[in-house]
Amino acid sequence: MTAPSSSVLQSLGMRTQQQLQQAQQQAPQTLGQSDFLNLMIAQLKNQDPTKPLDSNQMISQMAQFSQVTGIQQLQQSFATLSKSLSSNQALQASNLVGHQVLAPTGAGILTSGGNITGAVDLPSSASNVTVQIHDQSGQLVRTLNLGTQAAGSANFTWDGLEQNGQAAPPGKYSITASATYGGKQQAVDTWTAADVQSVSVNNQSGSLSLNLAGLGPIDFSKVRQIM
């Protein structure tokens, strides 16, 4: 059997070298440890005896593969940790079902004979703080005067009575607030109490949302207080 010429061996070595480099570039998706070792062995078998593989180049290739493998393992570890944390967070959040939370829903649910509680968020002390209650048609039902309030949260409670003293029908009511700063009336944020019916987990992002009775879902991170 005729031994392969040096040019053929060189061609095979170059081809194997190119295959190894291409495989290394695709490593994050397809190259595994056994694939890398098989390519390395093939490269050694088919190298040109007159021009053997540079040991420094081989070490560099092995270092690159080791780095890629380490990154893959780190990504897998983080993914596993993220799923574990999300599951644990969802389990803890499930304990909120049946409780109330304070959230920026901009609305509240009035039950028969019940009330709606919440808070006004004031960035600084303000005078003439008021809370406006509107029904679903947009009609103003009641205005609560909180007077002068210090910076922070100013709590309020609507007893379910309209401005004329009659009981408002049960249902959903929108809630807004305003305060006077420098002689000008400005809108300020409100937070209302709501009942938690269930907890949902986003399978892609792992984020949690609370399903509030009559108000729909809200991101768990937006909850200000658990009551």
* Predicted TM-score (pTM) of this structure: 0.61
pLDDT at 15 exceeding the cut of 70: no
Burial 32-66 (b: 16+ CB within 10 A, else e): eeeebeebbebbeebbbeeeebeeeeeeebeeebe
**Of the ranges 25-29, 36-40, 99-103, which is most confident?**
99-103
Residue 60 confidence (pLDDT): 67
Q: Is 215 helix (H, G, I), strand (E, B) or coil?
A: coil
H/E stretch holding 26 = none
Q: What is the mean pLDDT of residues 155-159?
A: 97
pLDDT in tens, 113-127: 999 999 999 999 999
**Residue 189 DSSP symbol:** E
Amino acid at 227: M
Dihedral sign for Cα 3, 8, 10, 11, please: negative
Query: What helix, strand, coil percent values describe the chain, rounded to 5?
Result: 35, 35, 30
Whether 213 and 109 have beta carbons less than 8 Å apart is answered as yes
Give the tens place of pLDDT for each residue, 195-208: 999 888 776 666 78
pLDDT band at 56 (very low <50, low <70, confident <90, very high): low
